[in-house]
Amino acid sequence: MTNSKLNFIFFGTPDVASETLEILKNGGYIPSLIVTAPDKPQGRKMIVTPPPVKVWAQKNNVPFIQPEKITPSAFDTSPLLRGRTGRGHDDSIDLFVVVAYGKILPEAIINMPALGTINIHYSLLPKYRGASPVESAILNGDTETGISIQQMEFKMDTGPIIAEEKVAIGQDEKTPELRKRLIKIGGDFLVKTLPDIADKKITPRSQEEVAGGVARTVLATYCKKMTKEDGLIDLLEDGVKNYNKFRAYFTWPGTYFFENNKRIIIKDAELVNDPFDSAEGKHFKIKRVVPEGKKEISWEEFKK
C-alpha cells in the first residue's frame, strides 16, 4: 500500500503530536482527519488558545474536529465519518494513529478502523506504562529507554507491540533533550513502519511474551502524572538521586527546596565527585537558583 492510499485519522493535542505530524508529512503521510482537544484558556490572562495540533491542521489545510467528549457520535461533525461510526468496524478507514491525545478512547472507536488503532509510547513497554515515561526513565537513573509502537487496547498501554526501538540516555541528559530525541526517533520509526502495518506484514507481539525466562508483564511498571509537589528536593538526600530528579523534572514541575519557609527553585546543577567521601560518592552541586520573589542568582551569591 503506498503512502497516498493509506487512509488514516490522527489523534493528538500537544507539541509532541504536532511535531510527529510534521515528520509524517515529510514522509508522505497526511491524515484524512485530525482529532484534537478543544481550545482552552491559558496563561495568567486565561486567553483561549488552540492546541498545537489544531494550529498544525489549519496551517496544512487538514480537516479537524475538537470534540468535548470522544464518543462515536463526535465524528458526526466530520463529513468523512458522518453516519458510519454507529455501526462499528469501518473498512473505509484503514488506521487510527494516536500520539498524546489526552483522552481515553472508547473500545468502539479503537476497534473501528480496518487495521485498528496504533499509538507511539515513549518507553520500552511494558516498562513505564502511563503518563510520564520519559521523566520516569531519567528519575530512576536508567541508561536506556526507547519507543514502542503498540496496537491499542482499551486498557492503558497494554496492547501488543508492533515495533520498538532502543535509545540510550546520556548521563547528563534532561527530559526536554531526551523527549526531543524520542519524538524525532519515534516519528521516523513510524514512517518506516507504516508500510508494513498497512500491508499486514507485522505480527504484533503480546506484552505477555516471555523475555529471558520472565514474562514481560511481570516487569511492567506504571508512572503517574506529575504534580508540582514532586519537584521537592531534600538536600541531604543521595546526590545521584537528587541529580536524577533535577534532570527528570527540569522543565516541569522543576526542582526546589525550602529555606526559611521560602521556596528556592534550582535552575542549574551538576553531579561531581565528593572530595570528602572516601567511597568516591557523588555530590549534587547546585549552581544557580531563583529565591522566591527574586531574580536568578548563582549559588555562591545565594549562600552569602
DSSP class per residue in 250-281: TTTT-EEEEETTEEEEEEEEEEEE-TT-TT--
Long-range contacts of 254-263 (CB under 8 A, 24+ apart): 255/231, 256/231, 256/232, 257/232, 257/233, 258/232, 262/291, 262/292, 262/293, 263/292
Residue 77: predicted pLDDT: 65
39-43, 49-53, 143-147, 196-200: least confidently modelled range: 39-43
SS3 284: strand
DSSP 83: T
**Contact between 262 and 292 (Cβ < 8 Å):** yes
Host domain of residue 278: 228-303
Indicate if the pLDDT at residue 43 is higher than 50: yes
Q: Which residue has the higher pLDDT, 74 or 168?
A: 168
Residue 102: predicted pLDDT: 87
43-47, 93-97, 140-144, 291-295: least confidently modelled range: 43-47
From 219, 247, 274, the end of a domain falls on 219
Do 254 and 191 belong together in one domain?
no
- Conformation bin of residue 217: beta by default, left when phi > 0, alpha when psi is -120 to 50: alpha
Residue 97: predicted pLDDT: 97
Indicate if the pLDDT at residue 85 is higher than 60: no
DSSP 22: H
Do 158 and 264 belong together in one domain?
no
DSSP 201: -
What is the distance between the alpha carbons of residues 66 and 79, in angstroms, rounded to a whole number? 14
> Could you tell me the CA-to-CA distances from 270 to 76, 100, 115, 181, 274 in Å, in that order?
53, 31, 47, 21, 12
Residue 36: predicted pLDDT: 96
Q: How many domains does the chain have?
A: 2
From 199, 219, 239, the end of a domain falls on 219
From 179, 197, 219, the end of a domain falls on 219
Do 83 and 215 belong together in one domain?
yes
Residue 81: predicted pLDDT: 60
pTM across the whole model = 0.88
CATH number of 104's domain: 3.40.50.170
